[in-house]
Structure 1
């Protein structure tokens, strides 16, 4: 399948949502490949799917093509900023803050038990929490617990896959 990445720029990637999810995973924003394919965390170097499995959320290793199997497991997907870009650093602080407002509205409507944001730097900017760390946050988002996970992008060298899996497993154990 040919993928037109130029046409994917600024395209919106639909959320994968249902009411009463256990966890709503929230990326920073879709990459061009994800927007072009209509699948979250679709680029092959993204470690979201392996971390999700290592963390105990899925019965087998899923890929982006399996994303529709998440809802029956009580898991959903969204992004702070819904528009696609080549890199997350193309987003402005104002866009991220507006995304925090949107994410709060989504949490109010769908009421997941936990909103898990994958990307501590984006979380710090979007929610104006300069000293936030990975893990459970003290504040809520709407009535949902708030959790911050490491960014699963292959560009995040601070976390290797086993450590990502451990961070996801900590969230899973908290449920």
Structure 2
């Protein structure tokens, strides 16, 4: 699946891996139950709720999308630790090349596994990738029932405010 990247983004959002549906339609966070697009709007990242098919508009707002692991699966629990570790190395190369201000990993378990940080928590991380700050947010998948849209909007909004201040 093609990354949505440009040099010097404010935030590069990083999903765990594409769903099978997203891989087929070629658009990030394409499943109807995914709350990524509503979360971006509710948190103030976008002036209106974008449809997945409008993902290219994110670049004009200084936002991009990539994934920890490129392989599409029915669910993220089908990925293994080696795929996450390789994904972290690939992310480091992308971040070095494109130099976003923030890399926002959307999934605490994915971040902990990929970056070997078993005690990481949501929010800003102490480590960086070069000059890029790392931030962990809840996965917006509809399968993540622990976080509803108001929670996601609040947490994504914290990153938006930090990115605007930097």
TM-score (norm 2): 0.97
Q: Which runs of 5+ in 2 are unaligned?
A: none
1:70-125 per-position Cα deviation (integer Å, ceiling 9, x unaligned): 00100000000011111101110000011001001100000000000000111000
Q: 2:48 aligns with which of 51, 54, 60?
A: 60
Q: 1:128 aligns with which of 95, 99, 116?
A: 116
In the alignment, what sits opposite 2:88?
100
In the alignment, what sits opposite 2:67?
79
In the alignment, what sits opposite 1:30?
18
In the alignment, what sits opposite 1:19?
7
- In the alignment, the residues of structure 1 paired with residue 76 and residue 21 of structure 2 have an alpha-carbon distance, to the nearest angstrom, of 13
**Post-superposition offset of 1:142:** 2.5
In the alignment, what sits opposite 2:99?
111
In the alignment, what sits opposite 2:57?
69
**Post-superposition offset of 1:157:** 1.0
- In the alignment, the residues of structure 1 paired with residue 85 and residue 147 of structure 2 have an alpha-carbon distance, to the nearest angstrom, of 25
- In the alignment, the residues of structure 2 paired with residue 27 and residue 163 of structure 1 have an alpha-carbon distance, to the nearest angstrom, of 18
In the alignment, what sits opposite 1:6?
none
- In the alignment, the residues of structure 2 paired with residue 149 and residue 74 of structure 1 have an alpha-carbon distance, to the nearest angstrom, of 18
RMSD over aligned Cα, in angstroms? 0.6
Aligned 8 A contact 1:29 1:85 in 2: yes
- In the alignment, the residues of structure 2 paired with residue 98 and residue 146 of structure 1 have an alpha-carbon distance, to the nearest angstrom, of 18
Q: Which runs of 5+ in 1 are unaligned?
A: 1-12
Match of 1:34, SS? helix
Aligned 8 A contact 1:107 1:143 in 2: no
- In the alignment, the residues of structure 2 paired with residue 142 and residue 41 of structure 1 have an alpha-carbon distance, to the nearest angstrom, of 27
| Structure 1 residue ranges (4+ consecutive) displaced by more than 4 angstroms after TM superposition | none
Are 2:34 and 1:46 equivalent residues in the alignment?
A: yes
- In the alignment, the residues of structure 1 paired with residue 141 and residue 17 of structure 2 have an alpha-carbon distance, to the nearest angstrom, of 12
In the alignment, what sits opposite 1:163?
151
